[in-house]
Amino acid sequence: MSDNEVHFFHPRPGPRERHLKRRYRNPLFGDHAVVTQDEVIAARTADREDMDTFVKEVKRLFDQAANLPPNVESDVILGLKERCDQLYEQSCGFGADLSREQQALTRLTEVIMKSVWQGAGNDMQARGELEQEEAARAEHYRLLEHKLIVDLLSPVSPIEEDHLVATLLSESETAVQHALHLFEPEHRAAMLSQASELLDQLKRRGLDISRWQARLALFGGRN
């Protein structure tokens, strides 16, 4: 092993390092399966900086919420709720234990939603929409338990478009099954074609592709 080859990954990596770990010595990624320790260290540093920024953003959000005027505009309340959702989603991607911050964000969301429900009054249509929103949020939070989902949804996703198929083929069947719902049917069809061709290439090179075929089947392809 040369000095610049990967010696170790963090046991609980952040988004950037996690994707390097996906790629490392993974034939699905072709030339990008080569990962150096320098890349890992740089990714880990960037992930740590993002987490530090996240913690500061959470504090800023709670400071703003604590200093709201009595008759605050509804747009401000809804803006706080949106930031709560965004920060919660981001928190699920880090390797560190951020359960305290997640619990705080959940409690603030509940407080905000209580105010929104009160504003809906007896408007049955508005109340129905709020019920749907809360059910969707609960389902979304469950999906965020899969790091793959978090990485795909991130505005600064470490998964580039040309890594998408290889990434999906590399992940657990459960995670992939959920992740595929994020894509439109035509996109899934295109990915199926790309995934089939990729596995055919690896098979022609003499590699055993059986470990990836179950994931391919989830795209709607052959077993």
In tens digits, what is the pLDDT along the chain, a chain of 223 residues?
A: 445 667 789 999 999 999 999 999 999 999 999 999 999 999 999 999 999 999 999 999 999 999 988 888 888 988 999 999 999 999 999 999 999 999 999 999 999 998 888 888 888 998 899 999 999 999 999 999 999 999 999 999 999 999 999 999 999 999 999 999 999 999 999 999 999 999 999 999 999 999 999 899 898 744 3
Determine the distance from the C-alpha atom of residue 67 to the mean position of all C-alpha atoms in its chain, rounded to a whole number. Answer: 31
15/21 Cα distance (integer angstroms): 10
pLDDT at 3: 54
**How many CA within 13 A on the CB side of residue 148?**
21
pLDDT at 5: 67
Contacts of 202 (CB under 8 A, 6+ apart): 27, 28, 209
pLDDT at 221: 44
184/97 Cα distance (integer angstroms): 33
Q: What residue type is assigned to position 75 of the chain? A: D
89/54 Cα distance (integer angstroms): 11
**How many CA within 13 A on the CB side of residue 194?**
17
Q: Is 218 within 8 Å of 176 (Cβ atoms)?
A: yes
pLDDT at 222: 43
DSSP string, 31-46: GGG--BHHHHHHHHHH
107/123 Cα distance (integer angstroms): 25
pLDDT at 105: 97
Residue with tokens 């069947």: 173
Q: Is 222 within 8 Å of 192 (Cβ atoms)?
A: no
Strand segments, DSSP code E, in the chain are none
30/90 Cα distance (integer angstroms): 29
Residue with tokens 């965004």: 86
Q: What residue type is assigned to position 51 of the chain? A: M
Point out which residues pair with 36 in neighbouring strands.
5
Q: Taking the chain, what is the end-to-end CA distance rounded to the nearest angstrom? A: 37
User: What is this structure's pTM?
Assistant: 0.89
